[in-house]
Amino acid sequence: MANPSLSQLFDLSEQGALVTGGALGIGQAIAFRLAEAGAGVLIADIDLAAAQETASQIEARGGRARAVRADVCRAEQVDEAVHAALAAFGRLDIVVNNAGIFPLQPVLDVTEETWDRVLDINLKGAFLVAKAAAQQMVQAGRGGRIINLASVDALHPNGMATPYNASKGGTLMLTKGLAVELAPHAIRVNAVAPGGITTPGSDAARAHVSGALRVPDAAILQGWIQRVPLRRMGEPDDVAKVVLFLASRAADFITGECIVVDGGYLLS
């Protein structure tokens, strides 16, 4: 059989996708790219108004999108989101576990509640979504792709982020475990590990550190950029393009892998 053409490789039309935390930031950029490639995209987010706004922007550009309110750490809301994707697009082929939080605190100040919340959203949520989606993918028998948002902090610990580092380290092993177990069903599972990306969440985190350390926000930003060999912050679309690659047929033989998208940060 002839190899697919370049446009066929990245053609996701007919397919259904679910992006958690897709209302804003990196998740929004991922939703835009998947929709541009032709997929119907269900945005599942705790911020319904922002999710609806993102879905409207996709539709205004001629794409297909729906929005639902769902908290990824609530199994029944995850099931509802998966069924909403099936109802909207007739199938579910691509799932992106993007919803995540990153509270920054010295480890000695971290409460049990904070630990549970970070692990619940970042790690348990990814498991719940992957499981609910994979059940549908296995039943449909068409395979699928699951892409998990890890972080450079999964590979190199960031200060003041012990629960986050642990949750993202767990995300990498969740990715590998799912990849092995779901491979017989032609479901590929991969991760992306972003470095510093400009988003509403990372802006808020930096503002929090700026206040706590009494260091100007701009100084913290410049300090970070100086550690990045490519000398800039990442944009959400820097990550979305890699997620699109992993969701596409261009990545047909990749599973259990993690692609770092950090401008070289981990090299420094």
Ligand X SMILES: NC(=O)c1ccc[n+]([C@@H]2O[C@H](COP(=O)([O-])OP(=O)(O)OC[C@H]3O[C@@H](n4cnc5c(N)ncnc54)[C@H](O)[C@@H]3O)[C@@H](O)[C@H]2O)c1
Neighbours of 223 (CB within 10 A): 10
Is 170 a binding residue for ligand X by CB under 6 A? The answer is no
* Among 91, 80, 79, 89, CA closest to 55: 89
Is 164 an active-site residue? yes
C-alpha 95 chain-centroid distance: 9
Is 93 a binding residue for ligand X by CB under 6 A? The answer is no
The smaller minimum CB distance to ligand X, of residues 158 and 249, is found at: 158
Q: Which of 12, 17, 19, 24 binds ligand X (CB under 6 A)?
A: 24
Is 183 a binding residue for ligand X by CB under 6 A? The answer is no
Is 20 a binding residue for ligand X by CB under 6 A? The answer is yes
Q: How far is the CB of 14 from ligand X (least distance, A)?
A: 26
Buried b (16+ CB within 10 A) or exposed e, 106-141: eeeebeeebeeebbbbbbbbbbbbbebbbebbbebe
x/- track of binding to ligand X for residues 202-221 (CB under 6 A): x-------------------
x/- track of binding to ligand X for residues 69-88 (CB under 6 A): -xxxx---------------
Please state, in angstroms and rounded to a whole number, the distance separating the CA atoms of residues 28 and 99: 11
Between vectors from CA 9 to CA 194 and to CA 84, what angle results, nearest 5°? 70
Q: How far is the CB of 142 from ligand X (least distance, A)?
A: 26
Joined tokens for residue 93 = 């082929």
Q: How far is the CB of 164 from ligand X (least distance, A)?
A: 7
The smaller minimum CB distance to ligand X, of residues 138 and 266, is found at: 266
Catalytic-role residue among 89, 164, 245, 265: 164
The smaller minimum CB distance to ligand X, of residues 3 and 110, is found at: 110
Is 121 a binding residue for ligand X by CB under 6 A? The answer is yes
Is 148 a binding residue for ligand X by CB under 6 A? The answer is no
Q: How far is the CB of 22 from ligand X (least distance, A)?
A: 7
- For 164, phi then psi, to 5°, come to -65, -50
Please state, in angstroms and rounded to a whole number, the distance separating the CA atoms of residues 100 and 164: 9
The smaller minimum CB distance to ligand X, of residues 78 and 92, is found at: 78
x/- track of binding to ligand X for residues 28-57 (CB under 6 A): -----------------xxx--x-------
Please report the DSSP string for 95-156 in residue order: EEE---------GGG--HHHHHHHHIIIIIHHHHHHHHHHHHHHHHTS-EEEEEE--GGGTS
Joined tokens for residue 267 = 């090299």
Alpha-carbon distances of 182 from 53, 92, 139, rounded to whole Å:
34, 15, 12
Q: Which sequence positions are flagged as catalytic?
A: 164
Residues at the interface with ligand X (CB under 6 A): 20-21, 23-27, 45-47, 50, 70-73, 98-102, 121, 125, 149, 151, 194, 196-197, 199-202
